[in-house]
Amino acid sequence: MHDVIDIDDLTAAEIRDVYELTDDIKASPEAYHDSLSNETLLMFFAKPSTRTRVSFEAGMTQLGGHAIYFPEDQSQMSRGESLKDTAKVLSRYTDAIMARLFDHETMVELAEYADVPVINGLTDLLHPCQALSDVYTLREHGIDDGPLAFVGDGNNVAQSLMQLCATMDIPCRIATPSGYEPDAIIQDRVADADVTVTNDPVEAVSGAKAVYTDVFVSMGQSEEKTDAFEGYQVTPELMDHSDDAKFMHCLPAHRGEEVDAAVMDGPNSIVYDQAENRQHVQKAVLHRLLAD
């Protein structure tokens, strides 16, 4: 691996290798305490974050390295410095860059100009680190044979999940309101896989082993679209159509909007396992990028 910008940057074998290393890191964290000694990760943020920032920063520390939090509004890019110049200079100072951006093409451009590995911490199009952690969580719970159902907005999380499920041969069902389906480019990428896009939440959830949702309105988007999602809330009644499914959410969650509190806080919810696994999986990714 060199960059992790898009799930399609990774082969199934590379993903399995990351998961096996994650198993080792979780089982014997002390064995990896110095694996990234003297390595520095630059964390470039155009969007605020809780899980992405803390999981990467704490993960680098636990591997013996160092992470620098670098908000875009405190960089010279906020005063007009080019992305190319920024990427070239940061590559001279650090060993890897993790970026959380708006436009995906900016992420692609950053990786083009950087001379160190670049990790996509989120763009409006894709969220590969989240998807990697989610499927690892399915694997931990013994349900990575699917089906996985995603109900809500066909957003960056849904799109990376579709790609990862396609790569790992996991049946995936995406249910969105009309007009909020995943990007046609992503649908084309998974056209030959067992991935279905529907406007019917019951169809998607029926027989699923995991049911996933995300906020209806992502960061920086208009609140006006929430009316379109009436009937897409994950409720106990919707979950009854599943195969006693686990409930998943990438967080932050809005109880009473995209998910009923009884589901979010119920016995089948594995949302905190997902959140914890962000750190473990990303530690494995960092190890493969910087220590091998």
Catalytic-residue membership of 165? no
Estimate to the nearest angstrom the gap between the alpha carbon of 208 and the chain centroid: 20
| Residue 187 is labelled as binding a ligand | no
214, 233, 274, 279: the catalytic one is: 214
3, 6, 100, 189: the catalytic one is: 100
Residue 87 in tokens: 């990427």
| Residue 129 is labelled as binding a ligand | yes
Pairing state between β 118-122 and 148-151: unpaired
| Residue 62 is labelled as binding a ligand | no
| Residue 182 is labelled as binding a ligand | no
| Residue 94 is labelled as binding a ligand | no
Estimate to the nearest angstrom the gap between the alpha carbon of 93 and the chain centroid: 27
| Residue 250 is labelled as binding a ligand | yes
CA distances from 74 to 23, 84, 116 (A): 37, 17, 21
Catalytic-residue membership of 250? yes
Catalytic-residue membership of 194? no
104, 173, 249, 278: the catalytic one is: 278
Catalytic-residue membership of 172? no
| Residue 235 is labelled as binding a ligand | no
Catalytic-residue membership of 278? yes
Place of tokens 């199934």: 12
104, 153, 250, 274: the catalytic one is: 250
DSSP state at residue 4: B
53, 104, 127, 249: the catalytic one is: 127
| Residue 22 is labelled as binding a ligand | no
Residue 14 in tokens: 């590379």
Nearest CA-CA partner of 88 in 77, 103, 102: 77
Catalytic-residue membership of 249? no
CA distances from 267 to 105, 193, 252, 275 (A): 40, 31, 19, 16
**Positions marked active-site:** 100, 127, 130, 214, 250, 278
**Residues that constitute the known binding site for L-ornithine:** 156, 214, 218-219
Binding residues for carbamoyl phosphate: 49-52, 76, 100, 127-130, 250-251, 278
Please enumerate, by residue number, every residue annotated as part of a binding site: 49-52, 76, 100, 127-130, 156, 214, 218-219, 250-251, 278
